[in-house]
Every structure is written in structure tokens, then in C-alpha cells.
């Protein structure tokens, strides 16, 4: 029964993607977790290599969209809009909307620990799916998919565009406080897809924490957490 459910979910996902695959095995690989494979096949048979490629394809398409839609934006604003669109939380949200979790091919142990709902795994497989579309249909197919899914988010974004670390530092200094201190609390995941957790300390305040695929992104997330907690950012 589980296999039938997975097959149905796989077919449903293909319809949502809006791309007709010439090679379904590419999409199948993008949805396969190492826990579903023999150890000898885990390196090349799982989603991880595709996730590496899909991350780059997504970044290029999003950067091009921003360059076109915001001709008056400076580099800093473009970077902040870019980070909002490609961050793991956004990719995980999109994966949830596409119901990628239901189509995942994962081992029993991973499934029992909630693998189908893990944000980091959903985000990675979302990027792997982009790579599968790219390899199957070329850049134009991948671009069309990313534009269809990401462009509405880009145009509707109303969040803060200022750099969170800079804003937090200015806010702290305006209150006579020392410069916030950032510390890496943990680093997990493979070298090609690390996940950092960073803490930021502002004198007299509880520590804020954030996570991301690089120390820079995690630092920004930690600063944003403090700004929102203290009511500086309310969007």
C-alpha cells in the first residue's frame, strides 16, 4: 500500500511541476534519500548531487529575475531580496505546497523520525527537483518552472529589505550597547550542503539564534530573530 501511495504521489507531483519528463528516473533520484538505498549506492543514487546543481540553477534564475524586475535597486537590496527567495525556509515552503514530502523515497527509520516533514530535507529535495528538470529539459525548462513558482513570491514580498546584522548593530549602538557578538553553535551536514546554527549575543538580552546553509546566512537569521523579538522589525 505504501508503494501505491508513493506512486500516486509521484504522479501528482509531476502534474504540479508542469514539466513532462522524458526520463522519469531523474525525478525519482531527486526524491530519493540515502536511507532508501544500499550504502554502496547512497553517494550517487540519492538527491544530494542534484541538490548541489539545483541550488546553482535556482540562484541564477532568481538573480536574473531580480535584475529585470528591480532596475533601480542597488546591490545590497538585490542581495537581500535574493536571500529571502532562495533561503531554505522558502524552498521548504514551496516543497510543502508541491507535496514533495509525500513523493519522497526514504527508508523506514527516516520516515519514522518525520523525514517527510523535515524542513532541511524538503528544501534540499526542492532544489534537487529543479536540477532534475534542468537535466531533462534544459535551462529553459528549469527557468520556466522557477519563474512560475518563485516570481509571485518575489513580487509580493513586503518584508524588511535592510541588512539584519547592520540593523541590529545600529540598534544596539543607539542604546549604548557593544557590538553584537556572533558564535557558531553547531555545524551539521555534508560539506556541499552544510547547516550552521549561529547565536548572537547583545549585552543584557537573551541570545538569538538562526540557521542557514552558510555562516553568513545563519548570522543574518540570528540577527533577524533578535530584531523581531525586540519589536524592531514587525513585518
| CATH number of the domain to which 43 belongs | 1.10.1520.10
Which of these ranges, 3-12, 128-137, 173-182, has the smallest mean pLDDT?
Answer: 3-12
Q: Which of 156, 181, 198 is where one domain is finished?
A: 156
Residue 100 has pLDDT above 70, yes or no: yes
Q: In terms of domains, do 110 and 207 share one?
A: no
Q: Which of 135, 156, 177 is where one domain is finished?
A: 156
Asked if residue 97 is part of any domain, the answer here is yes
- Judge whether 127 counts as a catalytic residue: yes
Pull the grid cell for residue 38: 544500499
Q: Which of 55, 136, 195, 219 is catalytic?
A: 55
Q: In terms of domains, do 191 and 211 share one?
A: yes
Tens of pLDDT, residue by residue over 112-165, are 888 899 999 999 999 999 999 999 999 999 999 999 999 999 998 876 667 789
Q: In terms of domains, do 33 and 135 share one?
A: yes
Q: In terms of domains, do 28 and 143 share one?
A: yes
Q: In terms of domains, do 104 and 123 share one?
A: yes
Q: In terms of domains, do 17 and 79 share one?
A: yes
Tally of structural domains, the chain: 2
Please indicate whether residue 159 or residue 70 has the higher confidence score (pLDDT): 70
Q: In terms of domains, do 85 and 121 share one?
A: yes
Range of the domain at 170: 164-229
Type and span of the H or E element at 196: strand 195-201
Q: What is the mean pLDDT of residues 222-232?
A: 92
Q: What CATH number has the domain bearing residue 218?
A: 3.30.160.20
Asked if residue 211 is part of any domain, the answer here is yes
Q: Give the list of residues 6+ apart from residue 116 with CB closer than 8 angstroms, or none.
A: 101, 102, 104, 106
pLDDT of residue 161: 66
Residue 219 has pLDDT above 60, yes or no: yes
**How many whole angstroms separate alpha carbon 48 and alpha carbon 180?**
35
The average confidence (pLDDT) of the chain is 90
Length of the chain: 235
Q: In terms of domains, do 60 and 92 share one?
A: yes
Q: What is the mean pLDDT of residues 20-38?
A: 93
Please indicate whether residue 134 or residue 38 has the higher confidence score (pLDDT): 134
Q: Which of 105, 122, 156 is where one domain is finished?
A: 156
Position 2 confidence tier, pLDDT thresholds 50, 70, 90: very low
Asked if residue 234 is part of any domain, the answer here is no
The DSSP code sequence of 100-167 is HHHH-B--HHHHHTTGGG-HHHHHHHHHHHHHHHHHHH-HHHHHHHHHHHHHHHHHH--S--S-HHHH
The overall pTM is greater than 0.85:
no
Q: In terms of domains, do 180 and 151 share one?
A: no
Nearest one of 46, 76, 55 to 212, comparing CA atoms:
55
Instruction: Give the residue carrying C-alpha cell 538573480.
Output: 63
| Contact assessment for residue 93 and residue 126, using Cβ atoms and an 8 Å cutoff | no
Asked if residue 235 is part of any domain, the answer here is no
Position 4 confidence tier, pLDDT thresholds 50, 70, 90: very low
Position 41 confidence tier, pLDDT thresholds 50, 70, 90: low
Asked if residue 173 is part of any domain, the answer here is yes
Distances from the Cα of 115 to the Cα of 9, 12, 101, 120, 150, angstroms? 16, 20, 8, 9, 24
Residues that constitute the known binding site for Mg(2+): 51, 124, 127
- Judge whether 55 counts as a catalytic residue: yes
The sign of the torsion formed by the CA atoms of 91, 96, 100, 102 equals: positive
The sign of the torsion formed by the CA atoms of 24, 29, 33, 38 equals: positive
Residue 6 has pLDDT above 70, yes or no: no
Amino acid at each position: 500500500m505504501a508503494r501505491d501511495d508513493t506512486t500516486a504521489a509521484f504522479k501528482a507531483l509531476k502534474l504540479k511541476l508542469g514539466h513532462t519528463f522524458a526520463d522519469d528516473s531523474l525525478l525519482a533520484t531527486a526524491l530519493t534519500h540515502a536511507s532508501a538505498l544500499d550504502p554502496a549506492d547512497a553517494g550517487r543514487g540519492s538527491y544530494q548531487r542534484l541538490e548541489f546543481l539545483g541550488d546553482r540553477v535556482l540562484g541564477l534564475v532568481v538573480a536574473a529575475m531580480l535584475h529585470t524586475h528591480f532596475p533601480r535597486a542597488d546591490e545590497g537590496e538585490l542581495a537581500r531580496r535574493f536571500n529571502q527567495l532562495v533561503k531554505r525556509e522558502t524552498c521548504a515552503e514551496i516543497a510543502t505546497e508541491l507535496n514533495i514530502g509525500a513523493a519522497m523515497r526514504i527508508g523506514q527509520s527516516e520516515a519514522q523520525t518525520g523525514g517527510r516533514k523535515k524542513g532541511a530535507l524538503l528544501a534540499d529535495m526542492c532544489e534537487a527537483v529543479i536540477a532534475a528538470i534542468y537535466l531533462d529539459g534544459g535551462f529553459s525548462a528549469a527557468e520556466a518552472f522557477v519563474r512560475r513558482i518563485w516570481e509571485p513570491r518575489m513580487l509580493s514580498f513586503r518584508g524588511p529589505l535592510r541588512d539584519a546584522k547592520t540593523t541590529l548593530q545600529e540598534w544596539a549602538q543607539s542604546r549604548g550597547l557593544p557590538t553584537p557578538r556572533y558564535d557558531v553553535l553547531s555545524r551539521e551536514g555534508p560539506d556541499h550542503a552544510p547547516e550552521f546554527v549561529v547565536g548572537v549575543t547583545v549585552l543584557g538580552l537573551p541570545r538569538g539564534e538562526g540557521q542557514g546553509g552558510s555562516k553568513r546566512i545563519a548570522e543574518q537569521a540570528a540577527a533577524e530573530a533578535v530584531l523581531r523579538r525586540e519589536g524592531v522589525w514587525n513585518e
